[in-house]
A and B are shown apart, each in its own frame.
Chain A
Amino acid sequence: GENVEQHPSTLSVQEGDSAVIKCTYSDSASNYFPWYKQELGKRPQLIIDIRSNVGEKKDQRIAVTLNKTAKHFSLHITETQPEDSAVYFCAAVSSAGGADGLTFGKGTHLIIQP
């Protein structure tokens, strides 16, 4: 099955600086890569996603890049704000075998320092 590795496990940045979280995946058949944000005590919620026919996608301060050849994708947050503090999860969906599993990385705890 799919294996998703995520780094770093903890990331501390100064407010206003950029944050980058990186993920790799193992299944070359994976074709959908969502990112979820989980605030303390709450459920994970989708913040951005990218499909395998796209190399980059941007939504205001967040962007995601995908390199299918290298099997890695990254989340970029610019001009970080205190409300960006949360745990971020990357995930990969593979349609191999006709059924779409959704496998998550272990998460990155992003801390925005004032």
Chain B
Amino acid sequence: DAGVIQSPRHEVTEMGQEVTLRCKPISGHDYLFWYRQTMMRGLELLIYFNNNVPIDDSGMPEDRFSAKMPNASFSTLKIQPSEPRDSAVYFCASRTTAGNTEAFFGQGTRLTVV
């Protein structure tokens, strides 16, 4: 398995534009997490899914943020409209329910909103 795959690796966009971040979890993992990392706030949990169902989205900062998981192998995090304060590294991670086990992170997407 290639691990958790995120795309794009880097995204630069203008304020007001829509941004879509993508994640492919490890095959067989039934949990998928979206995190945002900044110097000020560390690793913030935005939302997580279990078996493609959103479980907790209390970390989603505003209505401008939305996430979907249409199937077990794909998830998106969308920001519309984007703002400069959304600039951060966004990580996707996945893990399996079988016992309490390690969560594996993707390489992250570095988003810059100008």
Tally of chain B residues near chain A (CB < 8 A): 23
Interface of A: prevailing SS: strand
Interface size class of A (residues with CB under 8 A): 20 to 34
Task: Determine the chain B residues whose CB is within 8 A of the CB of A104 once the complex forms.
Answer: 35, 42-43, 45
Within the complex, the shortest CB–CB distance from A46 to chain B, in Å, comes to: 4
Within the complex, the shortest CB–CB distance from A24 to chain B, in Å, comes to: 15
B100 touches A93 (CB 8 A): yes
Task: Determine the chain A residues whose CB is within 8 A of the CB of B108 once the complex forms.
Answer: 43
B100 touches A99 (CB 8 A): no
Task: Determine the chain B residues whose CB is within 8 A of the CB of A102 once the complex forms.
Answer: 31, 33, 45, 48, 93, 95, 103
Tell me if A51 counts as interface (CB < 8 A to partner B).
yes
A46 touches B102 (CB 8 A): yes
Tell me if B12 counts as interface (CB < 8 A to partner A).
no
B-facing residues in A94-114 (Cβ within 8 Å): 99-107
A103 touches B105 (CB 8 A): no
A34 touches B103 (CB 8 A): yes
| Stretch binding the partner chain, chosen from B15-23, B50-58, B64-72 | B50-58
Task: Determine the chain B residues whose CB is within 8 A of the CB of A93 once the complex forms.
Answer: 100
Within the complex, the shortest CB–CB distance from A59 to chain B, in Å, comes to: 14
Task: Determine the chain A residues whose CB is within 8 A of the CB of B43 once the complex forms.
Answer: 44, 89, 104, 106-107
Rounded to whole angstroms, the CA-CA distance of A44 and B106 in the bound complex is 9
Tell me if B41 counts as interface (CB < 8 A to partner A).
yes
Rounded to whole angstroms, the CA-CA distance of A46 and B93 in the bound complex is 12
Rounded to whole angstroms, the CA-CA distance of A43 and B92 in the bound complex is 10
